[in-house]
Chain A
Amino acid sequence: MKHFDVLVIGGGHAGAEAAHAAARMGARTALVTMTLSGIGVMSCNPAIGGLGKGHLVREIDAMDGVMGKVADKAGIQFRLLNRRKGPAVQGPRAQADRAIYQREMLAATQAQDNLTIVEGEVVDLKMSGQKVTGVELADGTLLHSTTVVLTTGTFLRGIIHIGEEKHSGGRMGDKASVKLAERIDSFGLPLGRLKTGTPPRLDTRTINWSVLEEQQGDDEPAFFSFETTKLAAKQVACGITHTNERTHEIISKNLARSAMYGGHIDGTGPRYCPSIEDKVVRFADKTSHQVFLEPESLTGHTVYPNGISTSLPVDVQEDYIHSIVGLETAKILQPGYAIEYDYIDPRALDASLQLRATTHLFLAGQINGTTGYEEAAAQGLVAGINAACLAQGREPVQFSRANSYIGVMIDDLTTRGVTEPYRMFTSRAEFRLSLRADNADQRLTPTAMDLGMVSVQRRALFDSKRDALEVGYQALSREAYTPKHISRAGIAVKEDGTRRTPYQLLAFPDVQFKDVVRVQPDLSAIDRPIQIQLARDALYANYIDRQQKDIDRIKKDEAHVIPTGFTYAGISGLSNELSAKLESARPDNLAQAARVEGMTPAALALLLAKLRQHQKKSA
């Protein structure tokens, strides 16, 4: 019988990344997927990246993950969002060809060493006490594994709604595994219910493109992978159109027939990604909403109309689509639908994404209450690494809020839980100015190298970049110039007698690298990508120094570890509500406790005092 170190259930974005990470760590890994063609499927909008999400992809890539590399190959339109804002809040995004993405992800998975793909449906988990030891497939096959990573997305009681019609299923065309769900139920984990929706897909040949506004990609594409240097696929434009009063009228009249508005759905949907029904009701004074028409692939005919997800019946969908300019005769290839599903309260997980109560079982992806491919993949990476660590007897790897968006997300999920589908935003990261998409490699690749999970090329690329940055930094800081010298080079500075280095000059938002080259001509010898990165570091240098204090403070609080068996109930002075929240969040340390919702300064002080008492007692 086969025995694996890490077995991953589900080949979606979380599953693929988890399997790759574990295999790169040298663990004997299995990826169980219903079908080979299920690997790398994008159930919704075929786009990768965006604000906050682009950061996650870069971080995955910095650990030598697969998502960024595959997305670069599949990208048919690249756009750097927030291009005119500060570099810390710029996010790379690409429209991906669904077919290429799937093909390349499958190829990468088949090519990965230590990774076995198993086709089959997992129907049950094998247990030894509170410990998971393997899985059973629908055909009766048993697979043993030291650790199991569950990444089955929306399969827990997933129900699809199209208007008044509903049927069970993970997503269109998938069936939900009942027995596995029952096994998960038997663990008694806290569950919640969420919903999400998707728009109808249109046939590109039936859209009147000639009347529509066009949106082109960037001239100079920003790739996801630090390794990618050139475009792989043909680039296309997207179309832009708008809903109008007639569209809104059709929707308003039929609200009662919408699954979401007809009272058929109990789950909570994301506030930031409203359905068109939501938009019409909540923003009644707006007479028009933007719709992006995004081609799903170069070869097929499917177009994804971004901005009008719905759960109205098919006939209403047809009516309102036809009311939109350019879509008067558009044919719907697949109707829009809403799906509601159970998720597992991620506060039941520790920071390595292992379940606290059932050991050797890791959870990643939408099952933890998140939404989005990037969020799923990033969790997959964390779970895959940590499952491998556990199987190999290594210490768990912790991502922190101070070093990555991945750390921010894991911390948010495991200490605060979710109340709506969790999506990454740059504003969730308090150390945003230092956690940039451009320096993800500087932040994370060294850790990945220590873990032995990067390729030889990646290591070489990283080392040479790091050296170039160091040399460049030295050149920029070597000499300080007088205000007179600087003004002569065409940079306006105060005549305050302070000498400044080119690096310090770059901290002024309006000073570019080409300006400081006039101050010190030999700087032109620095490579352009290195110039860009150095200029960004310099721009934020003052802020980053300041943030360091907060980072140190967090580290200090993180050092106050809360022992596993610590009981909150009965601490006089803690409200029942708060002690219940702490009891379910089970923060690992004081820094996490501080972020539990509803935490007050007084309660935190009380907690610290109790911890000190506890330490004294056990000392």
Chain B
Amino acid sequence: MDTIFALATAQDRAGVAVVRVSGPAAHSVGMQMCGTLPKVGSFAVRPVSSDGDLIDRGLVLTFAAPHSFTGEDVIELHLHGSIAIIDRVLDTLSAFDGVRLAEPGEFTRRALENGKMDLAQVEGLADLIDAETEFQRAQAMQTVEGALSKVVEDWRARLINAASLLEVTIDFADEDVPVDVAPEVSALLESVMSQASDEISRSYVSERVRTGFEVAIVGLPNAGKSTLLNALAGRDAAITSEFAGTTRDVIEVRMDLDGLPVTFLDTAGLRESDDQVETIGIERAIARAKTADLRVFLSENVSDLPLDPLPQDIVVAPKADLRTDGTGVSGVTGAGLNALVQEVKAVFADRATHSGLTSRARHRTSLQSAVTAMKDASRLVNQGPEVYDLAAEELRTAIRSLEFLVGRIDVENLLDEIFSSFCLGK
């Protein structure tokens, strides 16, 4: 078994950088670089050197199997966060025999292999690590705690109940058994189907919570969209200039609105243009604005624009600083900015209350195929006992899809899929 190492903190200049080493050679490597190691389960400052050449002086932590994140022998080197120091330490580590840079997700994989975490925790962990806002953290934590598995278990139990009713009429045809099980089976199917369908629509919201809601700012060229975005971001994110048509690409600013992850998109001004490059930008802007979760129309008159606002979209007059009626919003003076943010937040806070337990396309695909199978089963059950064998097969498919959702079968694919969403060193 190889010993692996990686930088556990972000790859950049920082106050502290943590390098983690895990595997059978971790302790001996540590001793060769630091002289002696602190007692297992404790930490101490040690010189970190390469062939007698002092690289840095760092805090060293020693863990022994199985009491570590990976369940293996582990050392952690807390170094000064300089790029030169990190490079030198990583180089030194890779020179040891049987020691190599970790593959993406390999630490977590080892933690799983050694029984330190289970599959659900692993999946939730990926989201937890990526969580930037409070809502995201809460949602990921829910998965780690197994809320999804519980609901799916309950559905599965009801479907198994429905399947057993059908099977009774098949396998005990010659005996005194209830003949008309259709009403009970249909009722069970209905109940699971409606809840699962509901979860599918909620999962789109959850996915937004996980990846962020998008707000597109649209308007005529030079309506002040970029200035507004800059004001929102508090820094110069989009290039703004006096000349109309400056923003040719889509520019994003990611924000945390009281725990909700929201990305504002500054789009090219929408107008007829002869400039080919600008025309492409405009087409892209329209397409992007359409897929966004919400649009803020910075416009006096929306009929000037090649895009219609949807029910929850916000229409606000631009350049409030040049107006006298006290309405509108201005990126220059900040007038109306707070009200706009509150409005956006209100829209998403309302939507977020409809979030569900699933937030990944993988989950949705499984749910969708379960629902499709349940629909077919339900249709067949109503056709009568002659096709109960087919109905039972559809039910089996539905149950299998749910099992796939919580990872009961096809472990191998699942593992690979889950681990592919991890990045190095975590």
Contact = CB atoms under 8 A, between A and B. Distances in A.
A574 to B, nearest CB: 7
Contacts of B406: 601
B171 A426 contact: yes
A205 interface: no
For this complex, into which size category does the number of interface residues on chain A fall? Answer: 35 or more
A605 B400 contact: no
A430 B403 CA distance: 15
B118 A602 contact: yes
A427 interface: yes
B390 A543 contact: yes
Contacts of B393: 432-433, 543
A601 B411 CA distance: 7
B135 to A, nearest CB: 27
A427 B167 contact: yes
B407 A574 contact: no
Contacts of B83: none
A573 B385 contact: no
Interface string A418-443: 00000001110010110000000000
- Residue of B119, B175, B389, B397 with highest tally of chain A CB at under 10 A: B389
B63 to A, nearest CB: 15
B385 A85 contact: yes
A290 B176 contact: yes
Contacts of A426: 167, 170-171
A469 B414 CA distance: 40
Contacts of A600: 408
A198 to B, nearest CB: 17
Contact of B407 (A81, A86, A601): A601
Interface stretch (A403-411, A581-589, A607-615): A607-615
A427 B170 contact: yes
B264 interface: no
Given A605-B407, A608-B411, A509 B119 contact: no
Q: What DSSP secondary structure best describes chain B's contact surface?
A: helix
A605 B415 contact: yes
B1 A573 contact: no
A2 interface: no
B264 to A, nearest CB: 40
A430 B396 contact: yes
Nearest to A553: B410
Interface in B91-145: 109, 112-116, 118-120
Interface string A544-569: 00100010010011000000000000
Contact of A89 (B109, B170, B396): B170
A572 B72 CA distance: 12
Contacts of B407: 601-602, 605
A289 interface: yes
Interface string B367-385: 0000000000000000101
A602 B170 contact: no
B171 A52 contact: yes
Contacts of B412: 556-557, 608
A433 B389 contact: yes
27 contacts: A81-B173, A81-B174, A82-B170, A84-B386, A85-B170, A85-B385, A85-B388, A272-B172, A290-B175, A290-B176, A425-B171, A427-B171, A427-B392, A430-B396, A432-B389, A433-B393, A546-B397, A550-B400, A572-B114, A572-B115, A572-B116, A573-B115, A601-B403, A605-B118, A606-B112, A606-B113, A613-B1
Given A51-B174, A601-B411, 15 more contacts: A50-B174, A85-B386, A86-B386, A88-B389, A426-B171, A427-B171, A432-B393, A433-B389, A543-B393, A546-B397, A572-B66, A573-B118, A594-B409, A606-B115, A609-B109
Complex A-B, nearest 5 residue pairs according to Cβ-Cβ distance, in ascending order: A573-B115, A86-B389, A602-B118, A609-B113, A601-B407
